[in-house]
Amino acid sequence: MNDEIVLAGRSGHQLMELSRQMGWSLNETEMKVIASHFLKLKRNPSRIELESLAQTWSEHCKHKVFTGEITLVENGKKRVIRNLFKSTIKKATLGIAKKKKFLWSVFWDNAGIIEFTKDFGVAFKVETHNHPSALDPYAGANTGVGGVVRDILGCGLGAKPIASTDVFCFADPRTDASLVPSGILHPKRVFKGVRRGVKEYGNPMGIPTVNGSIFFDERFLGNPLVFCGTVGLIPRGAEKKRPRKGDSIVVIGGRTGRDGIHGATFSSAELSEVSETSVVQIGNPIEEKKVLDVILQARDRRLFNAITDFGAGGFGSAVGEMAQGLGARVFLDRAPLKQQGLLPWEIWVSESQERMVLSVSPAHLKAFRELCAFEDVEAFELGTFTGSGKIELFYGTETVGVLDLRFLHEGLPLFCERAEWSAPVFFIPSFSQPAGLNAVLRQLLAHPNIASKESTVRQYDFEVQGGTIGKPFVGRLGDGPADAAVIKPLPDRPLAITLSNGINPWYSDLDPYWMAASVIDESIRNSLSVGGNIDHLALLDNFCWGNPTDPRKLGALVRTAQGCHDTAQAFGTPFISGKDSFYNEFRIGEKTISVPGTLLISAVSVMPDASALLSMDFKEAGNPVYLVGSTFNELGGSHYLHVLGKTGGMPPLVRFAQAKKIFESVSRLTRQNVRFAPRMVRAIHDLSEGGLAVAAAEMAFASPYGVELDLSFVPLGEKKMRADEVLFSESNSRFLIEVQAEHENAFRRLLKGVPFARVGTVTPEPFLRVRGARGELLLDSSCPVLKAAWTRTLDW
């Protein structure tokens, strides 16, 4: 083997220096383990072997933080956590799986799969594409969508993508340009680029983009977060896969190029003003559509035994993963290239887009090749799966590397870090109730986190495939913000899928545990508000964190994972898939800005009857309006405090037992609803950012009507609360519901045992009027005025 690299004899410091120079992102312990492995083999490693190890052992591929050993010092007490993922998120799922039987495939594959009907499953995966999107927003988001679509294509024996979701975190697009340091793109440019990137992948592929959310905070300035999710439909039996010894390793799709080398290891590095540029790639959705057509036909004809996508780490990661328990012989010179002159190691780790790898038995090779030719997709045989336990890499007749599979997958030393956590002390900010609450409400509605995202959503095709029955915007004019999307993918069956999300990093500044509980609660609330079913609902977690070697940040991560476990367990809503992204930091000169600890929860639920679909706009004047759930003085991390420029406060907690009861009651309500004519529940909206006032305003201005509320009837969780606290608290597990007048009694019966009260009435005049305990008018705004405030902020 040529291009040997001498590790023996190098000091720890020198090894680290080498890792840094080569862009491997391996730490000193890992470099030492690799050095001693090759010392035992009595030879020097080649470049390609070290590249393979670096990519496979990257945070991106091995999730070292979540599977490592964390020594947590919590309030002065020390405890060791071995495998945070297993002891929190996975533990919750395994516990729930004993009772709920809808889980088909969780955690091991490219996507999680739950049962939809007896013969179809729903696959769901959400990825992050933060670092590439920081460098070029368009290209980063574009390939982010392409990547997660391939995850769905490469899950089981291939699922058919039926919907996409996209969630972004940016800095405020109104940020003054002079405050944006050089080397960083202005947040508005990032926003526009990301949006165009999503549009120009999802739309041409014919996959509707149906759900999403955008959260703004100045700490996302240098490191925006871009979450891309895709849902697929998979026939029963196709959720399992296994390559066989003797199968050909067949690669289909795009060609291999120099673009996208070192993406996996790059994601473990902090961004700086001089980041590598070869990691910027642009996607080709038309190529991926052709690949999709091949895969689905080949799946139905069972022409292959296993499939996966090429994500981070390229051939090296994907082939290394598939060959586990087998072995592989790989001929790198066979790969068709985009440009000549690529070195073998570059071919092996290139992350060029739109490529998939399949394990095809020799008997089907001819038929598979014919199918590819028919669909105009390039296919070639990269090598074969063997039983040697080794990956043998050739270029022509020359051996360029030999990797022991066991060392590749199990040789990685445990990530060991110290974490710290001390119970937060909440202080309640003291201020008097502002005089002009109407103006405060307008400010809240105009806040970019709450403001209408219609100008963004309308750029996406959310109708293609014809199954989107619950649209992102609802109401008589189609401009009210829906809580979740509903897809009915099978024309001949009444079942539907709800897609929703929850995200709020501001709560994690106060207590990440309650942040996790709150965003799970939010994602479930959103789902139930369109008719989702709490008994058939699954969650996906996406963590975006700063540097995990900072004990406080790692402590916050542990605390978040515990929140995930406790909440999921309490609600009986299992996690089925997830992803983590670390080192979301940006350095400018001496200053490091880290993103706030951000957890995106995506919820997927199966509705047995699509006609139970609900929307949030008021339907009929004179109908009573009910508030379900208790309101507490929980202004911590709220948008109300934010627009007032205050900090502190209690973060919203989740009272697990009561919340579960509320969710079950609301779920029952929406299921029974189809038996009533006219429907009993006419409109339902969850209370989140901006609390009761914002939810009521949105329900009103999405309709031609108005609403009158009386705060003295609001069910309170604590004795003394000021009117502004009741109006703007972001307490969890609450819904505002318009009930058909003649069905009020039935409605009350169905909600027995949970806190609820009639708080107002839908009015024929389009005004939002709220009265306080003494009958005083606290809010009196015309709905068109409120709506104008809400639509203006992001109307470009």
| Residue 133 sits in the site that holds other proteins (CB under 8 A) | no
| Residue 280 sits in the site that holds other proteins (CB under 8 A) | yes
Quick one: 199 exposed, middle or buried, by C-beta within 10 A (0-12, 13-18, 19+)? buried
| Residue 257 sits in the site that holds other proteins (CB under 8 A) | yes
Task: Give buried/exposed letters for 222-234 (b at 16+ CB in 10 A, else e).
Answer: bbbbbbbbbbbbb
Active-site residue identified among 60, 262, 364, 642:
60
| Residue 339 sits in the site that holds other proteins (CB under 8 A) | yes
Cα–Cα distance, 512 to 560 (Å, whole number): 5
Q: How far is the CB of 209 from other proteins (least distance, A)?
A: 19
Nearer to other proteins, 280 or 570 (CB): 280
Q: What angle do CA 617, 618, 624 make, to 5 degrees?
A: 145
Nearer to other proteins, 100 or 192 (CB): 192
Q: How far is the CB of 229 from other proteins (least distance, A)?
A: 24
| Residue 284 sits in the site that holds other proteins (CB under 8 A) | yes
Cα–Cα distance, 87 to 61 (Å, whole number): 20
| Residue 189 sits in the site that holds other proteins (CB under 8 A) | yes
Nearer to other proteins, 184 or 540 (CB): 184
Nearer to other proteins, 277 or 397 (CB): 277
Q: How far is the CB of 182 from other proteins (least distance, A)?
A: 10
Q: Is 639 a catalytic residue?
A: no
Nearer to other proteins, 261 or 556 (CB): 261
> Could you write out the DSSP letters of every residue in 520-563?
HHHHHHHHHHTT--GGGEEEEEEEE-S-TTSHHHHHHHHHHHHH
Member of 86, 258, 289, 722 binding other proteins (CB under 8 A): 258
Active-site residue identified among 13, 37, 63, 129:
129
Cα dihedral value 781, 782, 786, 792, nearest 10: -140
Cα–Cα distance, 738 to 435 (Å, whole number): 29
Cα–Cα distance, 106 to 122 (Å, whole number): 12
DSSP state for residue 773 in the 8-state scheme: T
| Residue 340 sits in the site that holds other proteins (CB under 8 A) | no
| Residue 373 sits in the site that holds other proteins (CB under 8 A) | no
Binding mask 139-168 for other proteins (x = CB under 8 A): x-----------------------------
| Residue 289 sits in the site that holds other proteins (CB under 8 A) | no
Contacts of 660 (CB under 8 A, 6+ apart): 570, 571, 572
For residue 756, give both structure tokens. 């609820």
Helix/strand/coil percentages in the chain, nearest 5: 35, 25, 40
Q: Which phi and psi (to 5°) does residue 478 adopt?
A: 65, 35
| Residue 667 sits in the site that holds other proteins (CB under 8 A) | no
Give the residues across from 70 on adjacent strands.
81, 417
Residue (of 88, 114, 119) closest to 499 by Cα position: 114
Nearer to other proteins, 276 or 392 (CB): 276
| Residue 282 sits in the site that holds other proteins (CB under 8 A) | yes
> Could you write out the DSSP letters of every residue in 7-65?
-TT--HHHHHHHHHHHT----HHHHHHHHHHHHHTTSPPBHHHHHHHHHHTSHHHH-HH
Q: How far is the CB of 280 from other proteins (least distance, A)?
A: 5
Cα–Cα distance, 351 to 195 (Å, whole number): 23
Member of 40, 75, 590, 796 binding other proteins (CB under 8 A): 796
Cα–Cα distance, 495 to 360 (Å, whole number): 34
Nearer to other proteins, 108 or 796 (CB): 796
How many residues form the binding site for other proteins (CB under 8 A)?
A: 24
| Residue 73 sits in the site that holds other proteins (CB under 8 A) | no
Cα–Cα distance, 441 to 351 (Å, whole number): 48
Nearer to other proteins, 274 or 363 (CB): 274
- 19-27, 253-261, 518-526, 625-633 -> range binding other proteins (CB under 8 A): 253-261
For residue 461, give both structure tokens. 């095709």
> Could you write out the DSSP letters of every residue in 321-355?
HHTTTS-EEEEGGGS-BSSS---HHHHHH---SSE
Cα–Cα distance, 753 to 756 (Å, whole number): 9
Nearer to other proteins, 21 or 182 (CB): 182
Member of 135, 296, 365, 785 binding other proteins (CB under 8 A): 135
Q: How far is the CB of 217 from other proteins (least distance, A)?
A: 21
Q: How far is the CB of 186 from other proteins (least distance, A)?
A: 7
Q: Is 37 a catalytic residue?
A: no
- 134-142, 151-159, 312-320, 473-481 -> range binding other proteins (CB under 8 A): 134-142
- 85-93, 181-189, 316-324, 525-533 -> range binding other proteins (CB under 8 A): 181-189
Q: How far is the CB of 136 from other proteins (least distance, A)?
A: 5
Cα–Cα distance, 446 to 779 (Å, whole number): 16
Nearer to other proteins, 283 or 314 (CB): 283
Q: How far is the CB of 257 from other proteins (least distance, A)?
A: 7
- 161-169, 280-288, 683-691, 785-793 -> range binding other proteins (CB under 8 A): 280-288
| Residue 277 sits in the site that holds other proteins (CB under 8 A) | yes
Nearer to other proteins, 16 or 280 (CB): 280
Nearer to other proteins, 353 or 781 (CB): 353
Place of tokens 């508005």: 188
Task: Give buried/exposed letters for 123-162 (b at 16+ CB in 10 A, else e).
Answer: bbbbbbbbbbbbbbbbbbbbbbbbbbbbbbbbbbbbbbbb
> Could you write out the DSSP letters of every residue in 50-97?
HHHHHHHTSHHHH-HHHHSEEEEEETTEEEEEE-HHHHTHHHHHHHHH
Q: How far is the CB of 255 from other proteins (least distance, A)?
A: 10
Member of 64, 188, 442, 679 binding other proteins (CB under 8 A): 188
| Residue 179 sits in the site that holds other proteins (CB under 8 A) | no
Q: How far is the CB of 214 from other proteins (least distance, A)?
A: 18
Nearer to other proteins, 139 or 556 (CB): 139
Restricting to residues 722-751, which ones interact with other proteins according to CB under 8 A? none
HSE-CB of 202 using CA atoms within 13 angstroms: 34
Place of tokens 């000169």: 589
Contacts of 708 (CB under 8 A, 6+ apart): 760, 761, 763, 767, 769, 770, 771
Q: What angle do CA 181, 189, 640 make, to 5 degrees?
A: 85
Member of 6, 39, 41, 286 binding other proteins (CB under 8 A): 286
Member of 115, 127, 166, 259 binding other proteins (CB under 8 A): 259
Q: How far is the CB of 277 from other proteins (least distance, A)?
A: 5
For residue 321, give both structure tokens. 């993963």
| Residue 336 sits in the site that holds other proteins (CB under 8 A) | no
Cα–Cα distance, 474 to 480 (Å, whole number): 5
Cα–Cα distance, 131 to 133 (Å, whole number): 5
Q: How far is the CB of 694 from other proteins (least distance, A)?
A: 27
Q: What angle do CA 317, 322, 326 make, to 5 degrees?
A: 120
- 87-95, 255-263, 566-574, 649-657 -> range binding other proteins (CB under 8 A): 255-263
Q: How far is the CB of 456 from other proteins (least distance, A)?
A: 15
Residue (of 611, 670, 682, 679) closest to 469 by Cα position: 611
- Beta carbons of 85 and 93 less than 8 angstroms apart: no
Member of 30, 49, 127, 136 binding other proteins (CB under 8 A): 136
Site residues, other proteins (CB under 8 A): 135-136, 138-139, 177, 185-186, 188-189, 192, 257-259, 277, 280-284, 286, 338-339, 353, 796
For the annotated catalytic residues, the residue numbers are 60, 129
